[in-house]
Amino acid sequence: MILTKSNIEKVDLDFLINEKIKNNRVNELLIIVPTNRKVRNLKKEIISLMPNRAALELNIETLGTISTKILNRIQPFRQLSEAASIIFIKQSFAEIKPKYFSVYKNEIPFGTLDRIKNVISEYKRHGITPEHLREEAEKLERSEKLKALDIADIYEKYFHKCFSINAYEIGDVYKLLLELNEKQFEESFSSIYSDVNLIVINGFNEFTKPEIKI
C-alpha cells in the first residue's frame, strides 16, 4: 500500500530511494524495517551506494526504535532490562495467590518465570491488557482458565512495578505512544526527523494492532 498526498496512479519507490542516495539527500529518507538485523544490513547496503561512501544522517529504524525515540522526546524513560523484568515477574508472582501455579509453593523455577515474562511481553506488544485476559479466560476450560487468571494477576502487578520506576518494554512504549494526542506525536516526530519527506515501510509480513494504529 502506498500512502501519498499526490493523486498519482503508482509510485516507483526504487527510483525515489535511488534519487535520494544519488543526490546525497538520504537525510530526507526514513526507512522502517521489521528487525535490527535488517537495519544493519540495509545501512551497509545504502552506504555502499552513496557517492562518498558516507551517510551521516541515515534514518533506518524498526517500529520499536522509532516508537521509542518519539515517546522519549516527550516522556523520557528507561528501557526495562531483562534482569529487572525477571526480578519484577518473580516479585509479582510472590504477591498473588496462584491457583494454576500453586504447585510452586516455595519458589517458581527460572524457566517458568522466563516463559511467563515472554508471554506477558507479547500480550503487551499486541495491546492485550490484564482485563482483556480475564475476559477471555471465562471462555476457557478450567485448567487453562486458572492459568490465564494467574498470568493476568502477575501481569497486573508486573505492569505497575515497571511504571513505578519509569522503565518500559516495547509494549509499554506502544501503549503510551497511542495515548499521545496527534499534535504531540507530530511535533515529536518532526523534531527528530525534520528533513524527512519520504517514509518507506518495507519487509513486514504482519503488524500487531498497536503497530497498525501507530
At 46, the pLDDT band (50, 70, 90 cuts) reads: confident
Average pLDDT in the 40-53 region? 83
pLDDT at 4: 57
- Burial group, residue 80, by CB count within 10 angstroms (0-12, 13-18, 19+): buried
> Sorting pLDDT into bands at 50, 70 and 90, what band is 14?
confident
Give residue 191's pLDDT.
96
Q: Return the pLDDT at 16.
A: 85
The answer for residues whose C-beta is within 8 angstroms of residue 167's C-beta and 6 or more apart is: 77, 78, 79, 80, 81, 84
Q: Supply the pLDDT for residue 108.
A: 86
pLDDT of 2 > 70? The answer is no
Is the pLDDT at 176 greater than 70, yes or no? yes
